[in-house]
Structure 1
Amino acid sequence: MQLTRYTDYALRTLIRAALLPEGERLSVAEITQTYDTSRSQIMKVVQHLGQLGYLRNIRGKGGGIELGMEPASINIGQVVRDMENNLQMIDCNSPYCRLQPACQLKKVLSEAMCAFMKVLDSYYLSDLVEDKSRLIELLTVSEEEILPTAS
């Protein structure tokens, strides 16, 4: 199974927010620069994560984005359920599949999805950011990456 890009960016945004030092906030621009993605897509993700309580989105001077809960209370499986529109792997009715009455594929794929979600349910955001210093190092954008080099 492949998660949507929307869910991927939601998880990446939560990881980035979890790496912030106490009292600091993140901007949408920092997220888009870190992951080299569009502002509009990150805005939608951040707004949705804020509505769900995973992030706290603070407007105005001194505003920004911060985690809305402790990393140890953010379950990865639940985030995926909250962000994905449809976790059903196949739809046997669109178009209608003639094998439906005797087919076992849907059952097998359902079992696989349950196993996939069970693994995700066993992890929390805190598990994903255990190696904080290494992750911060990897996410640090240098001036060379920001400014095009003159050659």
Structure 2
Amino acid sequence: MHVIYDSVTMQLTRFSDYALRLLMYVSRGDGTRPITIAEVGQQFDISHNHLVKVAARLSKLGWISATRGRHGGLQLGPGAEKLSIGTVLRELEGQKSVIDCADPPCALNGNCRLKRALDQAEEAFYQALDGVTLAEVSGNSRTAESIISLHRDFLSRRAA
């Protein structure tokens, strides 16, 4: 019998990726208008349906506020700029381990140092991101300039 494993490296889910992009984009809005899901989708080439799910989850967590209607959209929730990226990813990625020793069952049955080493590496990853806030990643001058440019680009295309 030949077993084929998926070729997967430690990688964030697409949901978390989209959530981080959405949070960063909304955090650099000009404050004069809410950001629409359509705008974020267009700027990052993300489907409307995916973003609706992401926005709903972020809203439920209180990290963004979502207003429906003609003048509705998304705004950063109170205190969200102080969120650590580690907190965001722990919440969105869930409590899954880097390696699953139960599926398929491992003959070493937990007597191996690998699982502990990988768990420690994962915790170090999150601890490093605990020291970085949303404000820091979206407020970095190059990142902020890029996001502001995307906002302007969207508004100019919409006005044309």
TM-score by length of 2: 0.82
Matched letter for residue 89 of structure 2: V
Hey, what does 1:34 align to over in structure 2? 43
- Residues 139 and 107 from structure 1, CA distance in 2 versus in 1: closer, same or farther, beyond 3 angstroms? farther
- Residues 139 and 86 from structure 1, CA distance in 2 versus in 1: closer, same or farther, beyond 3 angstroms? farther
Aligned-residue offset at 1:71:
4.4
Extract unaligned runs of 5+ from structure 1: 147-151
Extract unaligned runs of 5+ from structure 2: 1-9
Hey, what does 1:133 align to over in structure 2? 145
Match among 61, 66, 80 for residue 52 of structure 1: 61
Q: 1:78 touches 1:121 (CA, 8 Å); kept in 2?
A: yes
Hey, what does 1:11 align to over in structure 2? 20
Hey, what does 2:30 align to over in structure 1? 21
Counterpart-to-counterpart distance in 2, 1:22 and 1:141? 16
Question: Is 1:91 matched with 2:105?
Answer: no
Aligned-residue offset at 1:94:
1.1
| Higher mean displacement: 61-70 or 128-137 | 128-137
TM-score by length of 1: 0.87
Counterpart-to-counterpart distance in 2, 1:24 and 1:16? 13
| Higher mean displacement: 1-10 or 67-76 | 67-76
CA-to-aligned-CA distance 1:19-53 (integer Å, 9 cap, x gap): 10123210010011011011100000000000000
Counterpart-to-counterpart distance in 1, 2:18 and 2:25? 10
Counterpart-to-counterpart distance in 2, 1:76 and 1:15? 11
- Residues 101 and 7 from structure 1, CA distance in 2 versus in 1: closer, same or farther, beyond 3 angstroms? closer
Match runs of 1:108-147 below 5 Å: 108-130=117-139, 131=141, 132-137=144-149, 141=153
Counterpart-to-counterpart distance in 2, 1:12 and 1:72? 13
Give % identity: 34
Q: 2:85 touches 2:130 (CA, 8 Å); kept in 1?
A: yes
Q: 1:10 touches 1:46 (CA, 8 Å); kept in 2?
A: yes
